[in-house]
Structure 1
Amino acid sequence: MNSLNLSKFEEIQLPKFLKLRQNFRSDRITDIKEEVKKRFKAHLCNLSNKRIAVGVGSRGIANIDIITKAVIECLKEAGAIPFIVPAMGSHGGGDEAGQKKILDSYGINETTMGTSIDASMDTELIGMYGLDLPVYVAKSALLADGIVIIPRVKPHTGFRGKIESGVCKMLCIGLGKQKGAESIHSKGFEKFPELIPEVGRLIARKTKLLFAVAIVENAYDETYKIEVINKDEILNLKKEAALLEESRKLMGKIFIPKFDVLVIDEIGKNISGNGQDPNVTGLYFTGCVSGGPQFKKCVILDITKESHGNANGVGVSDIITRRLFDKIDFIAMYTNCFTSTYMEPCKIPMVASNSEDAIKIAVKTCNGVMGGQHKIVWIKNTMELENIIISEPILEQVKSNPKLEVLTEAEDVKFYKGEPKFSWDKI
């Protein structure tokens, strides 16, 4: 497949760019291990010689290796025999090796954690929700004497409800493995505001669930809060609902409401289930939620190593690069979309030869804007939003916002063989 050769067309002018800092609330936990131990004290009763399944997901949660190791150590100190169960639905290509590989990329393996990992995809039907929704849970977790899960609580990317991503979602989709995730998704995101909390509660009632170690992050992708929620508290939903609202207020965003082109340097399953978080970009693939900044075109330049080729979410963009396209593991991506029942995230946009061409194509196809006057917002990814790049035509808009700080003078972005010559680490 060939990409468009821009040398055959009239030169496309890009505006000058400058670096910008977005300022968010920065409270965070400094001693993660000590915080976990402090929160655990009241929950480590009657665990001697009991096998405890510890559910860990596929998201790129800050300090997840430290938190998981601290949970394992606390359980061991209480006399328990913990082991890890990947609680990530169909991710990792929906197989045992793939799910172990995802955990290993986060520093979670049998050596670093000092315990075994049972990544079997086998599930068991534990009941029905209503007349036609079978509910599945991983056999490895059901055979244990107790279950502990480690979810992050945050707004979901495809629906709005009292309970979204977090404890209940990890129970019914994460611990359900591919079969459980497919069952829930078969009802569509329209039903998620009801299904996520109610099926989560059903699983909590019917299994040996002990508690959840719930995590809330700040806008800087740092651990803001760790809360241990016991079984009764999971069933009444109040603590999780409160954590969700807290997370919603803390999460990062783009403070520029309207522009022409959004450039995203990288997407990945470690960043969001959609590769990029629509709560930040407004690039939702369901009709169940809306909002976010307004723009005409979106460019995605690359995919993270941690995503292992699963480019789920790439379909919401208009242009991608050849580099990204060549990294796609279509089976992993298709398994994800097949399970979720939504095909939009795996559709392939226009493929440009390189990053420079991708941005120029986006600019050229924004109608009604003079050359060199395009308003462009360029982010690394939707988890790292403190430092961003904007084009000079947005500058006046920025100066009136106290949460935005200009860091540099405007200048041309230099490209080498079609790739930008700057490092996000040095912004």
Structure 2
Amino acid sequence: MRERQFVADIVSGTKLPKMFRARQIFPDDKLEVEKIPQIIHDLLSEPKFKDRVKPGMRIAITAGSRGISNVALTTKCIVDFCKEQGAQPFIVPAMGSHGGATAEGQKEILTGYGITEEYCGCPIISSMEVKCIGKNAEGVDVYIDKNAAEADGIILGCRIKPHTAFRGPYESGMMKMMAIGLGKQYGATICHAAGFQNMHKNVPSFGRAIIANAPVLFAVPTIENAFEETCWIGAVAAEEINDKEPALLEYAKSLMPRIWVDSCDVLVVDQIGKNFSGDGMDPNITGTFCTNCASGGIDAQRVAVLNLSPETHGNGIGLGYSSATTARVYKQLDLKSMYPNAITCTVLGGVRIPIVMESDKECIQCCLQTCNEIDKEHARIVRIPNSLNIGEILLSEAYLDEIKDNEAYKGKLEIISEPEEWNFDENGDLPMKDGSLVF
């Protein structure tokens, strides 16, 4: 207790600035949720898709580990269409080594997203067993989920989005769902073995081999707007994936949000988790990249992580790229869930433990006090709820004059509150509700 108080005393004199709320403005076109079933039904009713789903076929439908908008609904819609054609669909968790690299853990992740046998109306067959389906162009054996490999057909349910650790014409999307997701831990390990510097080659190479040697029928990818709402759904035949995915990725990139201020002294992230990003917090937003194969996001000298999301089930991967965290986070960490993911992707930095402070306030104070060459009387602090939802952010009052009447921020940032003191309780923590910090 005395040691903890001693550490707290070191940072206790660091004054935190008042914060004001700002609305970030992005294009917000989206699909009406109630229309999604008809959209998917109409897409798949085109002969080039419908004719591939025949009565009696056992069809594997992939579902990944990301927090994709409307993922349970879109998965159910694909299931319903297959059943309408007389096929026998089942769902396969396609998430590499996530869920602690166990069949039970991967099924649990799907349950957290509402993808259950009861809701979708078909079996969920979760297994880590894989089968070699052929070789890629470089002569490397390619493995995918055994149940999917032995099905009569595979339909890819996925989202297209920029990746968090590498750049290329195929990042997070259809190719990666096959190469990494369907590969399970074994296949993902082989694909990652050459490092992220080669992922831009390996993902399409493995993906093309799966298209050529496994019964992939087509994909039903989605794209989301800056508010993580479904704004586009498509259907892509297996033989068209290679040619069509790069343009879809560029479209997805054009819709990506960002923090409109370019830099800060301290970035405060209320929560990280696998439901927000494979990296816990999306470095395309936070700048916390795990490799030098990608760049972007806000330029922050220090990053404070205050909490884990309930949906991440203790998987705090990405925490290692923060500067400091809280005792609350430390107590929630499930290392057996974190480590398989890090070992499989061959990047260990994300599971390191940063400096641990007792409270939210001390964590932020620690980050601010250790910043170099800044004006601590006018500290520039940005606070976000998570990397997925940045429609509203909190900025320290040092940004007020910068934003007011500045044409550069017109149509991008709108000030919606006056600067206020942080609302820490007597223990130095921010308010919480249902396991999440109140933003």
Q: How does 1:8-407 map to 2 (within 5 A)?
A: 11-30=13-32, 31-42=35-46, 43-45=49-51, 46-130=53-137, 133-234=140-241, 237-399=242-404, 400=406, 401-402=409-410, 403-407=412-416
Amino acid in the other structure paired with 1:44: K
Match status 1:408 vs 2:417: yes
Equivalent in the alignment of 1:420: 430
Taking the aligned partners of 2:330 and 2:18, their CA distance within structure 1 comes to: 28
Query: Any idea what the Cα deviations from partners look like across 1:228-252, whole Å, max 9, x if unmatched?
Result: 1001111xx2221111001101011
Q: Is the CA contact 1:21–1:405 (under 8 Å) kept in the aligned structure 2?
A: yes
Following TM superposition, by how much is the alpha carbon of 1:109 offset from its aligned partner in structure 2, in angstroms?
A: 1.1
Query: Any idea what the Cα deviations from partners look like across 1:85-124, whole Å, max 9, x if unmatched?
Result: 0000100000110001000000111111111011011101
Taking the aligned partners of 1:67 and 1:425, their CA distance within structure 2 comes to: 29
| 5+ long unaligned stretches in structure 1 | none
Taking the aligned partners of 1:27 and 1:411, their CA distance within structure 2 comes to: 32
Taking the aligned partners of 1:51 and 1:291, their CA distance within structure 2 comes to: 43
The 3-state SS of whatever aligns with 1:260 is strand
Taking the aligned partners of 2:208 and 2:16, their CA distance within structure 1 comes to: 53
Taking the aligned partners of 2:423 and 2:308, their CA distance within structure 1 comes to: 22
Taking the aligned partners of 1:154 and 1:249, their CA distance within structure 2 comes to: 10
**Distance change >3 Å, CA 313–CA 418, structure 1 → 2:** same
The 3-state SS of whatever aligns with 1:265 is strand
**Distance change >3 Å, CA 153–CA 352, structure 1 → 2:** same
Query: Any idea what the Cα deviations from partners look like across 1:335-379, whole Å, max 9, x if unmatched?
Result: 100100111111110001011110011111112334441100000
Amino acid in the other structure paired with 1:126: I
Amino acid in the other structure paired with 1:194: K
Following TM superposition, by how much is the alpha carbon of 1:67 offset from its aligned partner in structure 2, in angstroms?
A: 0.6
Taking the aligned partners of 1:132 and 1:317, their CA distance within structure 2 comes to: 39
Taking the aligned partners of 2:10 and 2:31, their CA distance within structure 1 comes to: 54
Following TM superposition, by how much is the alpha carbon of 1:419 offset from its aligned partner in structure 2, in angstroms?
A: 1.5
Taking the aligned partners of 1:270 and 1:180, their CA distance within structure 2 comes to: 22
Q: Is the CA contact 2:62–2:156 (under 8 Å) kept in the aligned structure 1?
A: yes
The 3-state SS of whatever aligns with 1:295 is strand
Q: How many residues align?
A: 425
Amino acid in the other structure paired with 1:339: T
Query: Any idea what the Cα deviations from partners look like across 1:184-236, whole Å, max 9, x if unmatched?
Result: 011111111111112101101101100011010001010010011001111xx
Q: Is the CA contact 1:413–1:421 (under 8 Å) kept in the aligned structure 2?
A: no
Amino acid in the other structure paired with 2:387: T
Following TM superposition, by how much is the alpha carbon of 1:127 offset from its aligned partner in structure 2, in angstroms?
A: 2.2
Q: Is the CA contact 2:287–2:300 (under 8 Å) kept in the aligned structure 1?
A: no
Following TM superposition, by how much is the alpha carbon of 1:258 offset from its aligned partner in structure 2, in angstroms?
A: 1.5
TM-score, normalised to structure 1's length?
0.96
Taking the aligned partners of 2:414 and 2:302, their CA distance within structure 1 comes to: 25
The 3-state SS of whatever aligns with 2:15 is coil
The 3-state SS of whatever aligns with 1:298 is strand
**Distance change >3 Å, CA 170–CA 8, structure 1 → 2:** closer
Taking the aligned partners of 2:392 and 2:337, their CA distance within structure 1 comes to: 31
**Distance change >3 Å, CA 305–CA 246, structure 1 → 2:** same
Amino acid in the other structure paired with 1:260: D
Identity %: 40
TM-score, normalised to structure 2's length?
0.94
Following TM superposition, by how much is the alpha carbon of 1:422 offset from its aligned partner in structure 2, in angstroms?
A: 7.8
Taking the aligned partners of 1:177 and 1:127, their CA distance within structure 2 comes to: 16
Taking the aligned partners of 1:421 and 1:384, their CA distance within structure 2 comes to: 18
Following TM superposition, by how much is the alpha carbon of 1:128 offset from its aligned partner in structure 2, in angstroms?
A: 2.5
Q: Is the CA contact 1:86–1:103 (under 8 Å) kept in the aligned structure 2?
A: yes
